[in-house]
Amino acid sequence: MPYSEIFKDHLAHPRNAGELADADVVVEETNPVCGDRLRLSLRIREDWIEAARFLAYGCPPTLACGSAIAGMIEGMRIDEAMTLTKTQVAEGVGGLSSRKQHAASLAIETLNSALTKYASSHR
Amino acid sequence: MRRVYLDHSATTPVDARVIEAMLPYLTDKFGNASSVHMFGQEARAAVDKARRQVAALIGSRANEIVFTSGGTEANSLAIRGICEAAEAHGKHVITSAIEHPSVRGVIDQLEKRGWDVTRLPVYEDGIVRVEDLREAIRDDTILISVMMANNEIGTVQPVKEIGEIVRGERDREHRHLWFHIDAVQAAGRLPIDVQSLNCDLLTLSAHKIYAPKGIGALFIRRGVRIIPQQIGGHQERERRAGTESVANVVAFGAAAELAQGEMDSRNAHTQRLRDRFEAEVKTRIGDLVLNGNPEHRLPHLSNISFRFIEGEGLLIHLDMQGVAVSTGSACSSGTLEPSPVVLALGRNDELARGSIQFSFGKDNTDEDIDYAVLALTKAVGSLRAISPLKFGVRSAESGVST
């Protein structure tokens, strides 16, 4: 399956790339099999994700999904972000073949890990 | 958008002179080379001429050339053909750790069927050592298969020295030992003489030397018996059944003759472009490693690992700017497959994943190099800007805690 135009656009012009200097939570998850990495930094105000940034290393789908998820969750309520699925992330990059779904999974795992970490430190 | 093709190890465009030579065999001269009538004889004469042209490229006799559908089939025919013919004399094969998948795959399959395989290491410079080969040879070794030059890093293997060892073995009554060379990447770029190489089998592919895809050849030294892998016809002296692809054969012959005649000028041109490219890339982009021995490698090829980033992303970034290159790494189903060739050099996963191969051709220009260097600088910069590996280094350098 060739990469879609929206996928290529995420690669050429990543959304929300970088790291927040004043992040409330930063996590980095690694796919233990292939070594792909995704790092998310979030600034949270009350129940909202006010800002989100990503850094990614690995195959193009991992980079594109990092860009897509960071763009999706910025301005989103935390409880809404927790219901995001890997299918929605894959759709956000114009669809992924079954062989590339692992990139969307890594994005969701990283987001969940960040929100869990934030929740446990703000009980 | 400008398009710059720097992937000549994958395939080359068909030379206009080659198209001109083959065209009549797609139109008026369409005969089957096995037919007795004049249409057939016209085709037969063209196939015979092409056979002589290909033979001349490697210093063989014309009747030692068997046309195949390409390099993969020729490698398969050589390795399976010898191993099946000589099984009674031994079941040990020696090869290198960096063979093309079409050699590696066949030998892996033989191993699963009970053959013993020794894979010679290549060390950091990407070259096998003849001392390792000498130690690996056993009384039951029947085949040594080592490529002449690697397709990914371009390193040239000591095939002449290996041939001398094989000859020495035969002199001491190790008669059932054959030597196969995959010369697909080397042909047209390095002079090849099967007599001085002492090889029994040698693989060629047409589409690497500006001819069409779908045609290759195997040199089989006179007197070497192989078991045919494709049967059901008398073509190619009973060694490869199937109607000859006459137009493709003619194209291969024409391309071989051009490659031989223009070898020096093509090499001088591509090496100058390659060296200029490498010098500029090293000046503009830091944190990179050149792969393969810089002296003993093909003149048209450069393999570079870029730290902190992954090859496929770089390939797509370059593609989006119109620059075509290759990477030996692949990631599928979340399974990492870094380039086995770059890993064999002792590089770590990060460098093996970040390796990109640039291969230059006779029609590339200085303007192509200027454009490719700019595109590469931009692509590497974009990917490093979002790399957590690079971020970690930046943070550590600036003393910021992450």
Q: Which of B259, B275, B306 is the last residue of a domain?
A: B259
The nearest alpha carbon in chain B to A55 belongs to B386
Q: Closest CB to B320: pick one of A12, A36, A67.
A: A12
The answer to whether residue A21 sits within a structural domain is: yes
- How far apart (Å, rounded) are the C-alpha atoms in residues B227 and B236? 13
For range A45-64, the mean pLDDT: 95
At B27-45, the pLDDT tens digits run 999 999 999 999 999 999 9
Residue B115 domain boundaries: 16-259
A33:B336 CB<8 A = yes
SS3 B151: coil
CA distance A11 to chain B (A): 7
CA distance B394 to chain A (A): 12
pTM: 0.94
Let me know whether B242 and B381 are in one domain: no
Q: How many domains does chain A have?
A: 1
Q: Which of B202, B232, B259 is the last residue of a domain?
A: B259
- How far apart (Å, rounded) are the C-alpha atoms in residues B281 and B304? 10
A99:B333 CB<8 A = yes
Tell me the CA distances in angstroms from A109 to A78, B45, B211, one per residue in order: 15, 66, 49
CA distance A102 to chain B (A): 6
Q: How many domains does chain B have?
A: 2
The nearest alpha carbon in chain B to A99 belongs to B333
CA proximity to A17, closest of A66, A81, A75: A66
Q: How many beta-carbon pairs below 8 A join chains A and B?
A: 73
At B41-89, the pLDDT tens digits run 999 999 999 999 999 999 999 999 999 999 999 999 999 999 999 999 9
In this prediction, does ipTM exceed 0.90? yes
pLDDT over 70 (residue B398): no
Please tell me if residue B389 touches chain A, with a CB cutoff of 8 Å.
yes
Q: Are B382 and B317 in contact (CB under 8 A)?
A: yes
- How far apart (Å, rounded) are the C-alpha atoms in residues B225 and A44? 75
- Residue B310 is part of a domain; what is its CATH number? 3.90.1150.10
For range B379-384, the mean pLDDT: 96
Helix axes A60-73, A101-121, angle to 10 degrees: 40
Q: Are B307 and B285 in contact (CB under 8 A)?
A: no
Let me know whether B92 and B238 are in one domain: yes
The answer to whether residue A88 sits within a structural domain is: yes
Place of tokens 């590089």: B347
Mutation target among B312, B335, B386, B402 for the A interface, most CBs of A within 10 A: B386
Let me know whether B115 and B192 are in one domain: yes
The answer to whether residue A56 sits within a structural domain is: yes
> Residue B203 CA to chain centroid, in angstroms?
9
- How far apart (Å, rounded) are the C-alpha atoms in residues A26 and A43? 9
Q: Closest CB to B317: pick one of A11, A35, A100.
A: A11
Q: Which of B259, B283, B298 is the last residue of a domain?
A: B259
Residue A100 domain boundaries: 5-116
Let me know whether B226 and B355 are in one domain: no
